[in-house]
Structures are given as C-alpha cells and as structure tokens.
Amino acid sequence: MNKQRHIVFHEHYFIEFYLELNEKVQEKIEYVFIILRTVKMFPKNSLIM
C-alpha cells in the first residue's frame, strides 16, 4: 500500500501565490508535491535550503 502525506497550506496565501506563477513553474511545484506525498523518507540535508 502506498501511503501519502497530507499537505496543508496556511489560509489562502499559497493558492494566491501559486495562481500568479506561469504554467511551467506550477508544473515544477506540482512535481515536488508529488514527491513529498509519496517518498517514504527524506534525507535531512535535502530539506534544508
């Protein structure tokens, strides 16, 4: 069974930001969300920016 994480956004801020982005950038963000929801574990250093 493939577990998925639930991504929570604070109020409406992310949605407003996301809708202002061009389509290519939106696709990249969606790709990252797919990874975040489905990958079992993340290396600690990959989450630090």
pLDDT, tens only, 6-38: 888 889 999 999 999 999 999 999 998 888 888
pLDDT of residue 22: 97
**43 falls in which pLDDT band (50, 70, 90)?**
confident
* Contact criterion met (CB below 8 Å) for 35 and 28: no
φ, ψ of residue 11 in degrees (nearest 5): 50, -130
Answer with the residue of higher pLDDT: 47 or 41: 41
Question: Is pTM beyond 0.95 here?
Answer: no
